[in-house]
Amino acid sequence: MTEGKSLASDGYRWLQLLIGIVCMVMIANLQYGWTLFVGPLDSKYHWGRAGIQVAFSLFVLCETWLVPVEGWFVDRFGPKIVVLIGGILVAIAWVMNGYADSLTMLYVAAAIGGVGAGGVYGTCVGNALKWFPDRRGLAAGLTAAGFGAGSAVTIIPIQNMIASAGYEATFIWFGLGQGIVVVALALFLSAPRQGQAPAAVAKLGQSTRDFTPVEMLRTPVFYVLYAMFVMVGTGGLMATAQLAPIADDFQIAKVSVNLIGITLPALTFALSIDRIMNGLTRPFFGWISDQIGREVTMFIAFGIEAVGIWALSVFGTNPVLFVILSGLVFFAWGEIYSLFPSTCTDTYGSKYATTNAGLLYTAKGTAALLVPFANVLKDATGSWHAVFIVAAVLNGLAAVMALGVLKPLRNAHNARETGIATAKVRTA
């Protein structure tokens, strides 16, 4: 394809999107499969849940806070090299987990895996945002869905392999397989050259100017988005990391549940449905936001999340309701990974989308710092109820902020930039 001459074909754009989705599927277990390894690790080494979950927090911190650096490389050198290196790192990390005989080694592996996963995640989302300004919410949602739902088909195989071959072999073989696929697909990734992607969509408040990361950090919109991301992200990450311990403490983990003609233990059922719902919500709400606007969609989704978390705290001791409500919680949470990067790129343009969205994505790392405190709060109060209430309140506050704070700020930001652009045209 020749730079700056013509739009890329829809087929080529969708191929790039598909490659990104599959890469995301391959790194999904690093986060969403982690909860299955916490119990076996603790049973073997007796490090304690809180100590083991520090590894989860380190993974998320490295996965998120280094994305802006990785995004800088992507925006300048293209997506291929960053994803290729990321695939190598995630394989190394899980192999290390398989051999880890100390918390220190577990933490080092988590950091390596976080760097690799962040490189893959940030690059694939950024590439989707650049290729699809006309369907940005949907494209970001489909890409993020690969990460959110990618582990759904492997939940049972991982559980079975842990039971039959041990968690160590499971870490090693799944790590190698996932890493190899990412490395192979990285060779086919490319970013759009100027003129290959469609124009911005005015009705969604998409900027016609590209803001550098420094320029973005000087605007109040970014910090409102960041605060809201942390609020909503905290509750979802707590559920992701703590779902198995919560089910154990509710004494329902192994209770059989029959739904839609399927019978599984409550925890296995919940984990499988949660992965599916966490994946479906990303393109669903992304597509909805392309139609009715980002802020209105945020208000709806975050409000549902607040209600779902509260209901799970009250009714979650019932195994059937535990499965259903945990699915609702994940359905109303996972969309943050399509709504926030889409809103960010709408506001600040496509050229630096990977870096700018990466800076916003560090909010997930900030939220991850709060995950271990869920155990502390639970131990202090004797139940998970207080943890759920805090998470529900944060989601409710974020819902109100979407319409009451973010929307007017974004409108003012867009009006100011339009005025500046018009003034420049008149004086030119």
For residue 1, the model assigns a pLDDT of 39
Pairing of strands 262-265, 256-259: antiparallel
- Which helix (H) or strand (E) is 206 found in, with range? none
DSSP-derived letter for residue 382 is: S
pTM above 0.75? yes
- DSSP three-state, residue 102: coil
Determine the average pLDDT of the residues in 291-310: 94
Q: For all residues of the chain together, what is the average pLDDT?
A: 88
For residue 202, the model assigns a pLDDT of 63
Candidates 61, 56, 3; CA nearest to 29 is 56
pLDDT of 140-189, one tens digit each? 999 988 887 777 778 788 889 999 999 999 999 999 999 999 999 999 99
What would the two tokens of residue 297 be? 């969609």
For residue 263, the model assigns a pLDDT of 84
Using only C-alpha atoms, the chain has a radius of gyration, in whole angstroms, of 21
For residue 275, the model assigns a pLDDT of 75
- Classify burial at 204, counting beta carbons within 10 Å of its beta carbon; exposed 0-12, middle 13-18, buried 19 or more: buried
Determine the average pLDDT of the residues in 215-221: 96
For residue 271, the model assigns a pLDDT of 80
Least confident of 122-136, 143-157, 307-321: 143-157
For residue 14, the model assigns a pLDDT of 94
> Does the pLDDT at position 259 exceed 90?
no
Determine the average pLDDT of the residues in 55-77: 88
Instruction: With beta carbons less than 8 A apart as the criterion, state whether 311 and 180 touch.
Output: no
CATH 1.20.1250.20 fits 10-427, yes or no: yes
> Does the pLDDT at position 35 exceed 90?
no
> Does the pLDDT at position 428 exceed 60?
no
Higher pLDDT pick, 150 / 350: 350
Determine the average pLDDT of the residues in 47-64: 87
Domain ranges in the chain are: 10-427
> Does the pLDDT at position 300 exceed 60?
yes
Q: What whole-number distance in Å separates Cα of residue 321 and Cα of residue 319?
A: 6
For residue 240, the model assigns a pLDDT of 64
Q: What whole-number distance in Å separates Cα of residue 388 and Cα of residue 255?
A: 22
> Does the pLDDT at position 265 exceed 70?
yes
pLDDT of 376-425, one tens digit each? 887 788 777 788 888 889 999 999 999 999 999 999 998 888 777 666 65
> Does the pLDDT at position 203 exceed 70?
no
> Does the pLDDT at position 262 exceed 60?
yes
pLDDT of 1-11, one tens digit each? 344 457 778 88
Residues 6+ apart with CB under 8 A from 218: none
